Amino acid sequence: MKYLFFDIECANCYNNCAKIFSLGYLITDEKFNVLHEKEDVLINPRDRFDWYVAKKMMAYPREIFKDQPPFPDFYNRFKEMFEDPETVVIGYAVTNDVHFLHDDCKRYNLPVFSYRFFDVQQLYARQPVNNTAKNLEDSVLSWYGEEPENMHRSDEDAYNTMRIMKAIAAFHNTDLPGLLEMYPDCGGETHDGIINYAWKKPEGEKKKKRHRSKKGKKKEEEAIPETGDNNMEQGSHNAELFVRFLENVKPRKKIRKPPLLSGHTVTVSLNYQRYHFNEMLYLVQMIVDAGGHYTLCTRDADTLYTYGDEENDIRYSIFSERIAAGEDLDVLPLKALFDILETSELRLSRKPKKDLSMFEEEEADEAEENEEFPV
């Protein structure tokens, strides 16, 4: 068997259709011996580059792509690679790349590919160690203790995907086939345009805990928010502190140059905000330092950074409605914001607890005033 590690970069995904500008890959045998050295296939996307892609995700000058062939010119080559019955396709967060290939095939009225695939992101999440990272960069940092170079260059991302899998295989003292056999729920296939995954879709957000008295159930609006130290459910103490922080946050003296978020009002998926209180405090400060503004009102934002299952994200639903109504808005993965701010989910999770004592004191003072002057 051969194992095709690959990664794709797109110029944009406007109108829910990806336009590929690079497909990087390498091929190994079951012992991770390289059979085909890493290669980055550059493609003319025949569309404009999204502003964020152009600023933060380009490993090459944009000008060179106008002289590259379009996707149809590579179609037969890619079809032979992906549909080889002796090949297993492997990627990191591979479902994104699978959809990207589908999109470009359909855009040019070409039959979509049918192949088996395996997701290394699903694999690392099932490990007993080093399993807290969410993206490729953090996974390399967790397993190798180093930051990868040339991020967003497709062949390098494909190579680092292989490295992560190789490290996990070594941890279990096995080879590639052995690892696939250990984690069959990390695989899937695409056939006749239908994508099937062995793993389950992410579960929806946790339901709020309901308080039950001896007299029976209380009303729905009396739900008690989650009480985890890093949770921030609506109405919780952390949520109140977060609002106070938003009202008072100012750019630090040493702000980044240039301010890449200047003029932008952004918000983050509730899937992240609700369960990452301390990280959100640091994130908001970085956003303000970069010239941006963070809002809790989804309809005031011009950019939404998504996290987790979009189907269970009310902010994503609101943005979809606004975009359908003709508003010019950006919807990007949260990792895009991390890249702009030169941080990562893993780095934020390691930040010390932010000092909010000044807001605690203000809250105590207000409580005393309310006692003296009841309303």
Shared-domain flag, residues 153 and 9: yes
Q: Is residue 332 part of a domain?
A: yes
The confidence score (pLDDT) of residue 221 equals 35
Q: What are phi and psi of 340, to 5 degrees?
A: -60, -40
292 found inside a domain: yes
- 42 and 181 housed in the same domain: yes
> What's the CATH number where 125 sits?
3.30.420.10
Q: Is residue 204 in some structural domain?
A: no
Q: 181 and 38: one domain? A: yes
Mapping DSSP onto H, E and C, the string for 173-208 reads CCCHHHHHHHCHHHEEEEECCEEEECCCCCCCCCCC
Predicted pLDDT at 300: 86
The parent domain of residue 106 ranges over: 2-197
Q: Are residues 226 and 152 in the same domain?
A: no
Structure confidence at residue 128 (pLDDT): 87
Q: What is the pLDDT of residue 220?
A: 36
Q: Assign residue 304 the CATH number of its domain.
A: 3.40.50.10190
Q: Going along the chain, which residue ranges are E strands?
A: 2-10, 20-28, 34-42, 87-91, 115-119, 187-191, 194-197, 212-213, 216-217, 265-268, 293-294, 303-306, 330-333
Q: How are the residues of the chain apportioned to helix, strand and coil, as percentages rounded to the nearest 5?
A: 45, 20, 40
The verdict on 189 and 309 lying in the same domain is no
In order along the chain (375 residues), what is the average pLDDT of each group of 10 residues? 95 83 97 96 93 78 94 97 96 89 94 94 85 74 76 89 94 95 93 82 38 39 49 83 89 67 89 93 92 89 89 87 84 90 89 85 49 41
pLDDT value at residue 156: 94
Assigned domain for 345 exists? yes
Count of domains in the chain?
A: 2
Q: Are residues 72 and 137 in the same domain?
A: yes
Domain check: are 171 and 228 in the same one?
A: no
- Do 150 and 250 sit in the same domain of this protein? no
Q: Is residue 215 part of a domain?
A: no
Instruction: Say yes or no: 35 and 85 in one domain.
Output: yes
